[in-house]
């Protein structure tokens, strides 16, 4: 089935640095990043890839899969990937990109994960960054589309044969707390590593209302995923400027794991069960992150 909006939104073909050929929305933020960097969130994905390589036959959930940039990369490092994308016209490209690349270990679901089973309105961005479409944030420059939501735990019950889940990536534009509420059984049973966005005041407030990440994940370590070139990765002031200058001069850019401050916003954070800290590449941990 062809969705009406897809017929209106131009599509182009791009090639990723991991060897996949994708249909992508012309002029969209993710498309531009793939064309300029080879893949979207390149540094973070390389770090996640090195983690998945340390988990034999890893099983991954990609929650908020968009057109498949992350899912296809994960397919190279994991045994099985389950990709969730609720927006119809985005899902159409996701499913096409998985099929056209001959990837057999990714299954796509036209669903959003949440804390309940329901039909809900999602606000689909019309400004050139369709990945910011949100169940939480109405916008004057977005249109509403009805999508199907399910609890992650209920999805697992409806799909027998999945005996483990090792890693979950969640990118759902401030809906992360509700996704986690619907994954409580999976989190307790499998204790997966998680990566999720933590980049808005709404997210900070929602997690604070639940007691904060240490309360929700009492036996996990929380890290910030950030480029070693980013200003945010260094202390404010002259010493931080000097440290950053030396790194930019003498080292290649790469994602590193930094100490987490729950009062600050970040693009991505990584939550790791303490018994699984050994899968983290030692070179990715900054000194402060090692001290915890």
18, pLDDT greater than 90: yes
Using the structure block, give the residue that is written with the tokens 């296809």. 72
Res 288 pLDDT > 80: no
87 DSSP 8-state letter: S
The three-class DSSP label of residue 215 is: helix
Indicate the domain borders of the chain.
4-291
**Range of weakest confidence among 19-33, 35-49, 146-160, 219-233:** 219-233
Q: What is the tens place of the pLDDT at every residue in 31-57?
A: 999 999 999 999 999 999 999 999 999
Picking from 193, 253, 191, 195, the residue whose alpha carbon sits closest to that of residue 224 is 195
* 289 contacts 269 by C-beta, under 8 angstroms: no
Residue 145 — very low, low, confident or very high, per pLDDT cuts 50/70/90?
very high
Which pLDDT does position 4 carry in this prediction? 45
Going by pLDDT thresholds of 50, 70 and 90, the confidence category of residue 1 is very low
CATH architecture of structural domain 4-291 = 3-Layer(aba) Sandwich (3.40)
Spatial separation of the C-alpha atoms in residues 43 and 236, rounded to whole Å = 23
How far is 19 from 26, CA to CA, in rounded Å? 20
pTM: 0.94
Q: Output the average pLDDT for the chain.
A: 93
Tokens 């009492």 -> residue: 218
């Amino acid at each position: 089935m062809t969705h009406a909006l897809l017929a209106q939104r131009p599509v182009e073909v791009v090639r990723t640095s991991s060897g996949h050929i994708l249909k992508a929305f012309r002029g969209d933020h993710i498309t531009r990043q793939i064309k300029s960097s080879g893949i979207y969130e390149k540094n973070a994905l390389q770090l996640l890839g090195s983690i998945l390589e340390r988990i034999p036959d890893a099983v991954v959930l990609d929650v908020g899969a968009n057109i498949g940039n992350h899912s296809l990369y994960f397919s190279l490092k994991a045994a099985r990937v389950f990709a969730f994308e609720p927006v119809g016209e985005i899902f159409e490209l996701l499913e096409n990109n998985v099929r056209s690349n001959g990837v057999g270990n990714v299954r796509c679901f036209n669903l959003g994960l949440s804390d309940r089973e329901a039909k809900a309105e999602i606000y689909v961005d019309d400004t050139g960054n369709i990945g910011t479409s949100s169940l939480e944030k109405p916008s004057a420059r977005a249109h509403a589309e009805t999508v199907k939501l399910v609890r992650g735990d209920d999805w697992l019950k409806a799909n027998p044969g999945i005996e483990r889940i090792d890693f979950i990536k969640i990118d759902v534009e401030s809906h992360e707390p509700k996704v986690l509420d619907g994954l409580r059984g999976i989190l307790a049973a499998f204790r997966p590593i998680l990566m999720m966005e933590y980049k808005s005041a709404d997210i900070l407030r929602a997690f604070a209302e639940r007691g904060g990440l240490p309360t929700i994940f009492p036996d996990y370590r929380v890290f910030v995923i950030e480029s070693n070139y980013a200003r945010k990765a260094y202390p404010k002031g002259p010493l931080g400027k000097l440290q950053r200058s030396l790194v930019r001069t003498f080292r290649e850019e790469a994602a590193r794991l930094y100490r987490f401050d729950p009062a600050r916003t970040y693009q991505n954070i990584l939550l790791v069960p303490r018994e699984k800290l050994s899968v983290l590449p030692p070179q990715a941990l900054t000194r402060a992150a090692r001290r915890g």
